[in-house]
Chain A
Amino acid sequence: MTDVVLKVKDLAVSFMSELGLVRAVDGVDFELRRGETLALVGESGCGKSVTAHSILRLVEHAGGRIERGSVWFNGADLLKMPAEALRRVRGNRIAMIFQEPMTALNPVFTVGEQVAEVIREHLGRKRKEARAQAIDLFARVGIPDPSQRVDHYPHQLSGGMKQRVMIAMALACSPLVLIADEPTTALDVTVQAQILDLIASLQREQGMAVLLITHDLGVVAEVGDRVSVMYCGRMVEHGTAHEVFSEPLHPYTHGLISSIPSLTAPRGQLRAIPGGVPDPLDFPSGCRFHPRCFLKTRLETAAESGGSRICSEVSPSLREWRPSHPAACHFAEHMPPAAKEPAP
């Protein structure tokens, strides 16, 4: 077992809203290994961003409350750590980049200053030294003539360039873990590819673990080593990218994969998962996917009575249906391989 850098156990985060308590994340477990890219995948609103933000306890500032669970990093639980100790980890050992580079940088300070301050803070460098280090960081992330760009303001840079600055900022103290919260969603496709290549090369260079949060399965297929699929605040499937894409064990994953339009496949109506994201206030009982699950309907029709009722009563826990390929579904063995038989 390559050493596990980050281990999240039974994480649950809730928000208080006018309509009552919203459990955005309800018991999530996953591990992140050194040098590996774990992709956290799910529809919008399934709690993947909230999970990412609660690792560094940023969610508390956005009003969320971490109800239970623990995040193990370097033998310590980040959630119970005193604020000062956690602060020394943020940006230093675990770094994070965000989705909209447009607003993620402070418009009134130069980009160089915003990177140098991390170096000054964590590595204790003097002002001039930090600036020099910032310049060569810009060079490493591929920003042209960095010595000039360092004194520019965010509104003078393009989206892609700003995301490179964010990456430079994250890599300033060569962190062990990089959490990338949908880093490419706001960028157009060409720039997206450059950013992903950049992250991959830096990862290889520093042996950094990357937790990539995305809803774009194409990105997962390309860079993801292992994949975790989330639905309504719960983990429904883990596995290596290859396994999950070829033989998904959970109907939701299967539905996701089969809804990817591929250039080669014959034209025709796109297959989409029926129904919509359930109401965050009252999730369906038992397995949260059962109202939209094609497997459940198929089993009902196949008159194996009593079988499908369990779906709507007991919420399935993660079971190792295949070695290191757990899925949270009662009838995972009946899952048809994705490639051969697309869902109805």
Chain B
Amino acid sequence: MTDLKEITAALEERAAVQGPRRILHPRRRLHQAALWIADTVILASAAATLIASSAPWVRIDQGSVEFPNFRTWIRADAAWLAALWVYLLVRILLGSRNRRGWMKRILIRGLAGLFLLFLVLTHLLPDRRPPERVSVFAEGFSIQAPIPFDPDHTDPEAFRAPPSRRHLLGTDTQGRDLLSRLIHGGRVSLLVAFCSTLIAVSLGLLFGAVCGFFGGLVDLLLMRVLEIFLCFPQLFLLILVFAYLPGSLLAVVAMIGLVAWTSIARLVRAEVLRIKNHDFVLAARALGCPSFMVLIRHVLPLSVGPTLVAASFCFAGAMISEASLSFLGLGLPQGTPTWGRILFDGKGALDYAPWISLFPGLLLFLAIASIHFVGERLRDALDPRARVIAPEIMPSVSISKGRIR
């Protein structure tokens, strides 16, 4: 089948110049949906204070115009908006086909500008929400936030109310609006997942690279350390975290991160071992590159592909284990709304108020499904073999009439 490979090479060359017209992947519609979901979740979390807050955006009261919503902003809101701009930047750069193009240059500069603005804002704003002196539903015309409830606003007459026009997703057992709690909860869940994935990936990459590349005694010792951590079920980390720094964000992130890094380390080690003997690595060594440089410039970039995929699965796993931790009484304090926590609090009411657990569960599923498909898209994008010739023609069996004979 040599000439099939030739055709691929020719097409590859053509695609590099002109860029493939449309990505032909059997799952492209799913991947597209996944990207949209990821966008909406991150947008909603970033602008949580804008979207779900009882403080209206604008209030015109006998001539005086006020922006109560902006006054409730705290440092975290600004930091999140900065993160949003970074996400949009990355999304535009990766998403579109042609890297150049004037429209893109303006967008990048604009976003970079906004990013700096929000960074500055982060230092100006207080780090704790100022007292809500002003009564919320004052008279005068005011533009309400789309979801006019704070995450911890208890609605006296709507306890365990099923989804209605007033509360789109219903309320929980303490009468708090579920949709606003999910939006604000998204923030913490994403933060927990992101930080623990960061820990897991950084440790995993470091460990895996060093173990795989240098081998010999170093590999022997570090593998033992890795095994120690692997034999350490999450349970035993409970000892340290359970009493020492319970219920804090750092504790939850540490626990999830310190367990997840071992699988990434093993993956990276295997990749590095495989890549180490490739010709171009030997060539780099032959050219006199110091071994550290070879590792960083040549070997690691290649293992980034599978690591990214593993990282996306670790991200999804972190969001789930955050819920399981709250089951063991070790998650974040009961007040902080995260998806896992809301899911856990609603578990008792599964048979008489199922929406309390159903919607966070659905949201968790959508987030994890989108992360999974983005991860899969990454893997296929980074794996050269399936890139140009559409994987639709990836080797699959022609099954006549649906039966494998």
Contacts and interface: CB of A to CB of B under 8 A. Distances in A.
Q: Do A and B bind each other?
A: yes
Most buried by A among B7, B22, B392, B400: B7
A91 interface: no
B369 to A, nearest CB: 25
A119 interface: no
B221 interface: no
A53 B7 contact: no
A64 B2 contact: no
Contact of A279 (B10, B24, B394, B405): B10
B395 interface: yes
Interface in A29-85: 44-50, 53, 60-64, 82-84
Interface stretch (A11-19, A147-155, A285-293, A312-320): A11-19
Contacts of A277: 6, 10
B10 A45 contact: yes
Interface in B19-40: 20-24
Nearest to B13: A279
Contact of B393 (A15, A48, A83): A15
B296 interface: no
A223 interface: no
Contact of A61 (B14, B389, B397): B397
Nearest to B405: A84
B20 A61 contact: no
A49 B20 CA distance: 26
Interface residues of B, number: 28
B6 to A, nearest CB: 4
A35 B22 CA distance: 48
B400 A83 contact: yes
A45 B405 contact: no
A182 interface: yes
B23 to A, nearest CB: 7
Given A45-B10, A60-B398, A280-B10, A16 B390 contact: yes
Contacts, number: 91
A61 B393 CA distance: 8
Contact of A63 (B3, B11, B22, B389): B389
B277 interface: no
B11 A18 contact: yes
Contacts of B405: 83-84
B395 A63 contact: yes
Nearest to B18: A19
Most interface-central of A17, A62, A281 (chain B CB within 10 A):
A17
Nearest to A20: B21
Contacts of A60: 398
B4 A18 contact: no
Contact of B1 (A53, A279, A280): A53
B397 to A, nearest CB: 7
Given A18-B388, A83-B400, A281 B14 contact: yes
A24 B400 contact: no
B15 interface: yes
B20 A182 contact: no
A18 B389 CA distance: 6
B11 A22 contact: yes
Contact of B389 (A15, A46, A47, A83): A15
B2 A17 contact: no
B135 interface: no
Contacts of B398: 60-61, 83
A193 B40 CA distance: 65
Nearest to B395: A61
A240 interface: no
B2 A19 contact: no
A254 to B, nearest CB: 22
Nearest to B22: A18
A181 interface: yes
A62 B396 CA distance: 7
A280 B393 contact: no
B6 A44 contact: yes
Nearest to A99: B2
Given A48-B3, A49-B4, A84-B405, A63 B10 contact: no
A58 to B, nearest CB: 9
A185 interface: yes
A84 B400 CA distance: 10
A17 B389 contact: yes
A163 B398 CA distance: 28
B246 to A, nearest CB: 50
Given A45-B3, A280-B10, A18 B21 contact: yes
Interface string A173-198: 00000000110010000000000000
A182 B2 CA distance: 9
B3 A64 contact: no
A222 to B, nearest CB: 20
Contacts of B6: 44-45, 277
Given A18-B21, A18-B389, A280-B7, 12 more contacts: A15-B4, A16-B393, A17-B389, A19-B388, A44-B2, A44-B3, A45-B6, A49-B1, A61-B398, A64-B393, A84-B405, A280-B11
Interface of A: 15-20, 22, 24, 44-50, 53, 60-64, 82-84, 98-99, 181-182, 185, 277, 279-281
Interface of B: 1-4, 6-7, 10-11, 14-15, 18, 20-24, 388-390, 392-398, 400, 405
14 contacts: A15-B7, A17-B11, A19-B18, A19-B388, A20-B21, A24-B3, A44-B2, A49-B4, A62-B395, A63-B389, A83-B400, A98-B1, A279-B10, A281-B14
